[in-house]
Amino acid sequence: MSEFTNSNNTNMSRNYAKEEPSGFSFDHIHRNAMIQQMTKASSNGNSSSSNSSYLPQATKTGTTIVGLVYKDGVVLGADTRATGGSEVADKNCEKIHYLAPNIYCCGAGTAADTEKTTELISSQLDLLRLNSEGSQSRVVTACTMLKRMLFRYQGHISAALVLGGCDVQGPHVYQIYPHGSTGKLPYTTMGSGSLAAMSVFETGWAEDMTEEEGVELVKRAILAGIFNDLGSGSNVDVCVIRMDGTVTMNRGAVQPNNVQPLRDAIKRSDMLNMRSGVTSVLHSEFKPHMFGGVTLADVSVTEMET
Amino acid sequence: MNPFAPAQIQNPNYYSTAFQYDGKSAETRNLKPGEVSTGTTIMAIPFANGVVLGADSRVSTGTYVANRVSDKVAQLHDHIWCCRSGSAADTQALTDYVRHYLSQLAIETGRVPTVKCAAHLMRRLCYENKDNLMAGVIVGGWDPVEKGSVYNIPLGGTCLKMPFAIGGSGSTYIYGLVDAEFREGMGEEEAKSLVKKAISHAMARDGSSGGIIRTVVVKETGNEREYIPGNELPYGP
């Protein structure tokens, strides 16, 4: 008997202390595929086309991201639309991620993957700086850390990145693909809108541009992506990283899709625009509370028979 | 049940290892969707006191050119270089590993590593991970033992020392040309011009090759890097 109670206790504690396996779990891939097939089969039979066959999809940043090197630094740019399937999940998401004071990274692909990958490498760079008596992080270091991690995961982490920054060796822009290959270039574009943006770059890029020219070119490239690619939209974010160490992060540098003026033009009832603390009084009535007008129900207690 | 009846294939995920007539080229067949490929033409020719290595510069994802000026000739050690073809991610990782092992070896033995050694290291990695890699590599360089030498390591991990080596998807178009023009005992200038000519011809015919031609001449005295812009190729439209 004591063995029974003992084993019960240890079972419970074993469950709570069980270690979670680390890394990706691909257990549900087969199940999800079967569910999709089942719902497709049933919707074909029923001729109903509603959400029965809809499986939530990972939020992807459809995206146009770009980076270029100009005379005294780098300019990074990105749109701000995040999609989940064909629905816009976030109209103003931030795709330019911080890696180090002098290094920023634009991310395309699955939003969670780009966000977490850049956060991970950012903290690794931080630790490296702490261990190296504060030497400024180099862009090639960030690039190598990112490519080593992405190669390890053999492309299952869907993160396509444009990495840019300035260090002692000069301004650098790298492109990093989900399978772990990298390329060092003077200008590059990634994401679904990359073709539209690259056409602008190929026409307009020149060596040793000024900052104004670089920023203008980046804005035009992202706008090309926003207007011609369905996966990109909303605003343009621009980030300038200069050789002298200053960084300018301009969220919403261009807002071609701002619908606020349209919303403001709608006429709504004045009752919706009350000062807080003021309520419009429609009707007043006073009725005194009836004390003693309530009678308690009679409850007789009968003993239970055992 | 008849034991001699052919097996029933139940699992829809069963994939056949037999040749599939799907119109895809051997170079791009095994690429995962979205993976970047160095489509490529790569080449290396040894001459009396060294080696000439050459490559085009096109890196493609499907039909889009991801990088039109990439560098496919990578340095493994002071006088040992390699040309990369196949999956860009796989070959970059391989190059990093071999570079690391070679530098360790140089420190441990106190000697300049031989090109044979570098090639065999590369071959070990390619062969033992052949299921997970798609990489065709040409290793070439100068060492005090063999002087200039070239080793070809195609898909699968064979390692062959050759009088000249060509590789990549564009190499199929220039086998005839190189066979006709190659001679044993060429000098440096002759070898260089043959490399440039052959790669130009391959770039003209292969969709996955293009851009510029990058060459490296490796000699005892040092390395000379050069590139020819796309509008100054020896042959082309």
CB contact under 8 A, A181 and B88: yes
Contact B72, B214 (CB under 8 A): yes
The average confidence (pLDDT) of chain A is 86
CB contact burial A92-130 (16+ within 10 A = b; e otherwise): ebebbbebbebbbbbbbbbbebbbebbeebbebbeebbe
Lowest mean pLDDT among A110-114, A285-289, B35-39, B79-83: B35-39
The average confidence (pLDDT) of chain B is 89
| Model confidence at A7: pLDDT above 50 | no
| Model confidence at B129: pLDDT above 80 | yes
The predicted-structure confidence for B15-52, as pLDDT tens digits, reads as follows: 545 555 555 555 555 666 667 776 799 999 999 899 99
The predicted-structure confidence for A175-233, as pLDDT tens digits, reads as follows: 999 999 999 999 999 999 999 999 999 999 999 999 999 999 999 999 999 999 999 99
Interface mutation vs chain A, best among B38, B65, B67, most A CBs within 10 Å: B67
Q: The complex's ipTM?
A: 0.82
Sign of CA dihedral A133, A137, A140, A146: positive
Tokens encoding B50: 């060294």
Q: Quote the CA–CA distance of A257 and A125 in Å, as a whole number.
A: 36
pLDDT at residue A281, as a whole number: 75
Q: Is B91 a catalytic residue?
A: no
The predicted-structure confidence for A99-134, as pLDDT tens digits, reads as follows: 999 999 999 999 999 999 999 999 999 999 999 999
Coil vs helix vs strand at B69: coil
Q: Quote the CA–CA distance of B117 and B127 in Å, as a whole number.
A: 15
Coil vs helix vs strand at A160: strand
Note which residues in 123-152 of chain A have CB less than 8 A from chain B: 147, 150-151
Query: Considering only alpha carbons, which residue of chain A is nearest residue B64?
Result: A195
